[in-house]
Amino acid sequence: MTPLPDTIVPLPIKETDADVWSPQLRNRRDVDVYLPASYDEGRRHPVVYMHDGQNLTDPATAFAGTWGLNEVLSRLAERRIEPIVVGIHNTKARLSEYSPFPDARVGGGGGDAYLSFIADTIKPRIDRDYRTRPSAAHTAIVGSSMGGLISLYAWFSRRDVFGFAGALSPSLWFGRAKLFEFIESAAVPRGRRLYVDVGTAEGAGTLRDARQLRSILRARGVGRGALVYLEDRGGRHNEAAWGRRVERAIESLVRRQGVR
């Protein structure tokens, strides 16, 4: 008898909203929406907003390889973790948009306007056009490097919108003094999860900053149930490393699909 092939889990369905205008930033960009393969079954889904959207799945637009997000979402769907993922493309103003505080060397500091773009322009469109679970309790924000930095900041500053955040290799060096001062004094979200990781081959300063962030968060009462902290042995600061770790990040933030 010929053995039956392994079950093939279908890839998510990708839709693109092209040239989305941001009244907050006065620019345009594409926004990709990844719907679970089970979307037509009629359930509502949690939503994960991700930065650097052109790097997630398409080699033609990725900066230095993709995250392989399609395959990641298919594997998560096997475990009934089925979020809608919104991939927001970056612009030439990436450093400014992804930085909550200016850096003395390179400027920046437009992060609040960028988060307002997501919260007040993109999210209402997504909630209108798709079957989402719109509350903060079912909304996450995830990114790497500068995208990790703005996601971390959003966890504190926009907890009305984003209940959960994933900061992969966050660029904690950018506006470092003001950033750590903010983290040490901002109100700590309760009942919300935060994922932080770093590769051990990203440099001594990067690893030191990540460990300091972990220490501050724990000192402020963000316990192990709320904080997932991972050091990726040998991990570097690149798309390949983030693609390996994003499955763990999303799984730690998004619970299994259940309520219709």
Per-position DSSP letters for the chain, written without gaps between them: -PPPPPPPPPPPEEEEEEEEEETTTTEEEEEEEEE-TTGGG---B-EEEESSGGGSS-TTT-SSS---HHHHHHHHHHTT---EEEEE---TTHHHHT-SS-BTTTB---HHHHHHHIIIIIHHHHHHHS-B--SGGGEEEEEETHHHHHHHHHHHHTTTT-SEEEEES--TTTTHHHHHHHHHHSPPPSS--EEEEEETTS-HHHHHHHHHHHHHHHHTT--TTTEEEEEETT--SSHHHHHHHHHHHHHHHSPPP---
Distance CA 149, CA 142 (A): 10
- State the pLDDT at residue 6: 55
- State the pLDDT at residue 205: 97
Cβ-based neighbour number of residue 38 at 10 Å: 16
pLDDT (tens, 9 = 90+) of the chain, 260 residues, equals 444 445 566 889 999 999 999 999 999 999 999 999 999 999 999 999 999 999 999 999 998 899 999 999 999 999 999 999 999 999 999 999 999 999 999 999 999 999 999 999 999 999 999 999 999 999 999 999 999 999 999 999 999 999 999 999 999 999 999 999 999 999 999 889 999 999 999 999 999 999 999 999 999 999 888 999 999 999 999 999 999 999 999 999 998 654 33
Distance CA 90, CA 52 (A): 5
Q: Is the pTM of this model over 0.85?
A: yes
Distance CA 57, CA 71 (A): 9
Domains of the chain, CATH where assigned? 13-253 (3.40.50.1820)
- State the pLDDT at residue 260: 34
Sequence-ordered list of residues with C-beta below 8 angstroms from that of 81, at least 6 positions apart, any chain: 250, 251, 254, 255, 256, 257
Contact of 141 with 147, CB cutoff 8 Å: no
- State the pLDDT at residue 10: 85
3-class DSSP state of 59: coil
